[in-house]
Amino acid sequence: MIVHYGYLDASGEYFITVDDSKCSVCIEKGCIKACPKSIFMESENDYGEKVMMVKDEVRKMLKYICAECKPSVNRPPLPCVTACPYDAITHSW
Amino acid sequence: MYFAGLDVGARYTKTLIIDGDARVLSKKMSTSGFDNNIISKNLLNNLCMELGITLEEINKIGVTGCGKKNIDFANYEFSETMVAAKSVFFFNKNVRTIIEVGAEESRVVKLNSDGRIIDSVINEKCAAGTGTFVELMARTLEITLKDFSELSMKSEKKIPMNAHCIVFAESEVVSLIHSGVDKKDIVRAVNDAIASRIASMARRVKVEAEVALIGGLAKNSGFVFSLKNNLELDNIVIPDDPEYMGAFGAALLTREL
């Protein structure tokens, strides 16, 4: 199951997409520790698989919360994406 | 055997009771109000009275919707995505994409041939592209929701409109009224705007036929027409009671547990 966490508004689309089929096989869930804003948590999805989820309270603010990792020039690799060995995480912006 | 499903939505609470064969015995809805718990219990009690049973005779109760956490008498909680998938697939095994437009959020769920969710996207932040948008516009145009649906189908003119913000859209509608634009053309413009908003979200998960539309907005034939045009679809599957599909899915899942 692919889950898109986030929103679209007048300024654009701000989604963090997690591929649960890849995420569920990862024991470490290194992305949770890698995020400097602690926006991720581990929980069970609808099919009982242990996966990483974006916390409820930040889902409507991703554009602003993730801004720290996304400078407008010379953007470095995103810590959450780098920490994921299964390429389960993508950002839409 | 009786199983109840509750869908505590942002605007309306829908509840129904099914039997062991998944036949809907009774259903009711009411505005969600301030105290979701009391309103849901009253609705369920009314259903029980209609059926001549007591609340205690209901074997299990399942709840979904944005107010599900407020319900203290339910046995199970389900995600809105899961109940949508369950209920729609129960009626039509050919559906691969479900579009749900509720009062304050919209979502798109993609299924595989087994009815398992393979992709899902929700927009719960922006009111543009939701039922609330339609209610506000109907109020601005001083027409009923029923008229909103019918008038749109009479329009043959396309007027581009801001689909990105409910506040700006309202002021745009007021401008169109003052410019003397026909009411039916404004209604169509609103439906087109919402449809384009939903369609752009649906494209994130790559729409695959057959497509089902559920939620209260599925009763707005003007919106359905606009959505079909925008997604270039010949047909959109709409269940008989599209606004009850969440509650039905919750009851179905409860029956299986």
Domain assignments of chain A as residue spans, ordered by start = 2-91
**How many angstroms separate the CA of residue B125 from the nearest CA in chain A?**
6
Residues B176 and B50 in one domain: no
Does residue B48 form part of some domain?
yes
> Which CATH architecture group holds A2-91?
2-Layer Sandwich (3.30)
Number of structural domains (chain B) is: 2
Which residues 6+ apart lie within 8 Å of B27 measured at CB?
A: B14, B15, B16, B17, B47, B241, B244, B247
Hey, are the CB atoms on A2 and B119 less than 8 Å from each other? yes
- Tell me which residues of chain A have a C-beta less than 8 Å from any C-beta of chain B: 1-4, 7-10, 13, 15, 46-47, 59-60
Does residue B137 form part of some domain?
yes
Residues B205 and B101 in one domain: yes
Domain that holds residue B100: 93-236
- pLDDT tens digits for B207-241? 999 999 999 889 999 999 999 999 999 999 999 99
Beta strands in B53-203 (DSSP E): 60-64, 76-77, 97-101, 106-111, 117-123
> Could you give phi then psi for residue B240, rounded to 5 degrees?
-60, -45
Predicted local distance difference test score (pLDDT) of residue A18: 96
Residues of chain A with Cβ-Cβ distance to B165 below 8 Å are: 9-10
Residues B53 and B159 in one domain: no
Residues B113 and B221 in one domain: yes
Residues B109 and B160 in one domain: yes
Q: Which residues pair with A23 in a beta bridge?
A: none
3-state secondary structure of B52: coil
Predicted local distance difference test score (pLDDT) of residue B210: 94
Residues B73 and B112 in one domain: no
Q: Are B159 and B165 in contact (CB under 8 A)?
A: no
CATH of the domain at B56: 3.30.420.40
Predicted local distance difference test score (pLDDT) of residue B146: 86
Give the ipTM. Answer: 0.77
Does residue B164 form part of some domain?
yes
Q: In residues, how long is chain A?
A: 93
